[in-house]
Structure 1
Amino acid sequence: MAANDRVFGQHAVEALLSRCPERVRELRVQADRGDGRMRGLLERAAQAGVTVQPVARRELDALAGKVRHQGVMATITPMTPLGEGDLPDMLMALERRGTVPLLLVLDGVTDPHNLGACLRTADGAGVTAVIAPRDRAAGLTPVVRKVASGAADTVPFIQVTNLARTLDLLKTFNLWIVGTCGQADTVLYDADLAGPTALVLGAEGKGMRRLTQDRCDVLVQLPMLGQVDSLNVSVAAGVCLYEAVRQRRIASPVPNG
């Protein structure tokens, strides 16, 4: 059993059973847990026709390692990360449908908890895809999948070998590249995020690399009104993405009824 075949935690497993039950091959559940939430999860698994295997807690502990399993592990058919070769086809399909893309680009985020949180927020904000470098950056590990609470299996995750070249490709599809930088002259709320946009956030502590920053059409900063001078990358991603959501709702209001 490979590490990327496993999803731990009740919320993450519930999300999989709700969104893509066909990818869940089996559940292993802690045999002595019978709380209400676990009973609900087992009912959903039964409805989806998923095999459930009761096991001792020590078996789940051994499988999970340092990940909190909350009494349940799903064995899944993992979503394979895409490569840069898949990106043009995705963007052309969006153009044909008239869909305005919103991409989240993470430049060297290495903390799996941060990547998982970014994926979860990206799912909530309706992001088209999350793009990250293949090297010196976190991938779709079990920790990422658990923190993402199912979003690692709903948001396309594209790993690229050359991030600067990928940003150049996005420009050929008329995406506006918006990077975050604490020294930027433009405040986030003054930037236009309603059109085809790729939001670029840098790594924890270091920020964006110079080559990445040079590819951005505009750099923006989040106003910091207190004593700290920066936000965690996953928090900053949430602020930026939901500002894009807000602007898009104004540009294309959702009809009542």
Structure 2
Amino acid sequence: MPIEGPRLLEEAQRSGLEIASVFARRGTVVPAVSSSSQVYEIEPAIFKTIQSTETSQGIIALVRPRYFRLPDIVSTANPLIVMLVRLQDPGNVGTILRVAESFGADGCLATVGTASALNSKTLRASAGSVFRLPHVWDLDIRQAASMLKASGIGIVGTAPSAQQTIDEWDWNKPSAIVIGNEGRGLSEEEKDLCDVLLRIPQCAAVESLNSAIAAAVILYEASKQRMNR
């Protein structure tokens, strides 16, 4: 998996990932890496052709990511899980991964149609959380919902019209928070797969919150309840 920039390289190392190779633009200071990592110095003109962003700061590394299976996440004791349904903005996906790790989620699931966890924008927005938070991508939502329910995990969807608010749900129970598509939210079929629909209480009639902001608010409430139990 390619990553760009010294900060992501340092986060990958801090997360215990194996750094296979580092490609540095000539003259760039390379963060200390394991002696087993191959370091190559690249001429600036050539380096420019292989970088995918302008923020690489002269560093591209190839790392070996960890791979997880759905049972690895759902079998966690009293899990708190985030499930992304067709989120298309990699910036939102990365931010949610970062927020999920911050508030103690045990893992993140994503259905087919969600921006890749390995997208360069996702990697940057996650600020290294993608290296540490267990995650499984490209799931069929029905199969994932079936396994969650079979494992005793409550599937919690969100809808502005829901009667119950997020602070009225007992987050000390095993729970999977479902975050829908940025523009359309959850479809009626997807809502039917949920055990409960909740809404975020708001002071003004704002049409909807950004998906990453909504996830942060819900995860904060879940984390607060779990810490105070």
Report the TM-score, using the length of structure 1 for normalisation: 0.79
Which of 62, 71, 74 is the matching residue for 1:88?
71
Shift of the alpha carbon at 1:236? 1.2
Give the secondary structure class of the aligned counterpart of 1:230: coil
Instruction: Name the SS for the 2:104 alignment partner.
Output: coil
More helix by share: 1
**Contact 2:84 2:180 survives alignment (8 Å):** yes
Q: What residue ranges of structure 2 are gaps of 5+ in the alignment?
A: none
> Residue 30 in 1 paired to residue 11 in 2?
no
Residues 61 and 69 in structure 1, CA contact (< 8 A), matched pair in contact too: no
Which whole-Å deviations, capped at 9, do the CAs of 1:75-134 have from their partners, x for residues lacking one? 112334x5xxx3235434x3xxxx211110111101111111111222222322211112
Q: Does 1:193 align with 2:168?
A: no
Kindly indicate whether residue 147 of structure 2 is the aligned counterpart of residue 151 of structure 1.
no
Identity over the aligned pairs, expressed in percent? Answer: 26
Read off the aligned partner of 1:191 and give its amino acid letter. W
Instruction: Tell me if the contact between 1:28 and 1:55 (Cα under 8 Å) persists in the aligned partners.
Output: yes
One-letter code of the match for 2:24?
V
Over 3 Å counting, the alpha-carbon distance change for 1:89 and 1:55 in structure 2 is: closer
**Cα distance in 1, alignment partners of residues 111 and 187 from structure 2:** 12
Q: Is the 8 A contact 2:19 2:62 kept in 1?
A: yes
Given the superposition, is the C-alpha separation of residues 160 and 29 from structure 1 closer, same or farther in structure 2, using an over 3 Å criterion?
A: closer
Is residue 73–residue 106 contact of structure 2 (8 Å, CA) maintained in 1? no
1:24 alignment partner, SS class: strand
Aligned residues of 1:175 and 1:197 also touching (Cα < 8 A): yes
Q: 2:73, 2:134 within 8 Å by CA — same for their partners in 1?
A: no
Q: What are structure 1's unaligned runs of at least 5 residues?
A: 252-257
**Correspondence 1:37-56 to 2 at 5 A:** 42-43=31-32, 45=33, 49-56=36-43
Matched, 1:12 2:12: no
Counterpart of 1:74 (choices 61, 64, 77) is 61
TM-score (norm. length: structure 2): 0.88
